[in-house]
Chain A
Amino acid sequence: DTGVSQNPRHKITKRGQNVTFRCDPISEHNRLYWYRQTLGQGPEFLTYFQNEAQLEKSRLLSDRFSAERPKGSFSTLEIQRTEQGDSAMYLCASSSGTAKNGYTFGSGTRLTVV
C-alpha cells in the first residue's frame, strides 16, 4: 500500500470548463475526506464519506462541486463551470475511523483556472 493517491497532480483548465479529480485512499480506510488549500492558508474542509455515504458537506462546497464515492473505495471530486477562484490545491485524506486519530493525506491536485 503506497498511501493516499491523487490524480492528476496538476491540472490547468480554462474558465468555464469542468474538471474531475480522483482520490484512491488507503485500502482499509473507510473514511475519505476532501479539503481545499489556497496559497498561504491552511486546508479547509469540503466534505467527507464513510464508505459510500457522503455524511457532511461544508458551505464552501457550492452547487458547482460534487463528490462521489460509489463503491466505498476511490472518490471523485468534480467542479463544473470552473472559476478563477477555484484555483487551489485539492487534498484528499483517509482514515480508518473518526478524525480523532488524524488522517493520512495525499499529495494533492493543484488546479489552475486561467
Chain B
Amino acid sequence: AQSVTQLDSHVSVSEGTPVLLRCNYSSSYSPSLFWYVQHPNKGLQLLLKYTSAATLVKGINGFEAEFKKSETSFHLTKPSAHMSDAAEYFCVVRTSGGGADGLTFGKGTHLIIQP
C-alpha cells in the first residue's frame, strides 16, 4: 500500500525567508506524488506533480519539489516566502492497483508566515 508522512504539522517562517515542508513516502513501486495547497474556506489546488519524469519538479507560485528515491522523500521548497503562502499543504501519493485509482493524502502541514 502507498502512504505519505508529513513530518511537521506546523511550520513557521518569516516573510522573505526560504520554506521547507517535508514529506516521506512509502510505495512498492515508482509512485506518482503531488503537493496540494488549501487556503481557508477554499478548495484544494494542485501545486505540482511528479510522475517519473524529471526528479526536480517546478510548480506554481515559485514552489519546487525534489523526488529522492534513495531517501523516499518529496520535500516542498520555495526560496522566499510570501504572506499569501500561508495555508495548509498536503503531500499526496497516488493509490493504484486492483482497480483502485485514488489519492492518499498526508495529514497536512500548516504553513505560517510571520511578517
Within 8 A of A (CB), among B67-101: 90, 92, 94-96, 99-101
Interface of B is mostly: strand
Query: Do the beta carbons of A41 and B102 come within 8 Å of each other?
Result: no
Interface size class of B (residues with CB under 8 A): 20 to 34
- Chain A interface: which size bin? 20 to 34
Chain A minimum-CB-distance residue to B4? A42
Query: What is the CA–CA distance of A101 and B34 in the complex, to the nearest angstrom?
Result: 9
B27 shortest CB reach to chain A, Å: 13
Q: A-B pairs with CB below 8 Å: how many?
A: 64
Write out the residue numbers on chain B whose beta carbons fall within 8 Å of the beta carbon of A99: 32, 94-96, 101-103
> Quick one: which of A33, A43, A91, A103 has the most chain B CB within 10 A?
A43
| 29 residue pairs A–B, Cβ–Cβ below 8 Å | A4-B43, A41-B108, A42-B90, A42-B92, A42-B106, A42-B107, A43-B90, A45-B102, A45-B103, A45-B104, A48-B101, A48-B102, A55-B99, A55-B101, A56-B100, A56-B101, A58-B102, A98-B96, A99-B32, A99-B94, A99-B101, A100-B32, A100-B94, A102-B34, A102-B46, A102-B103, A105-B43, A107-B43, A108-B43
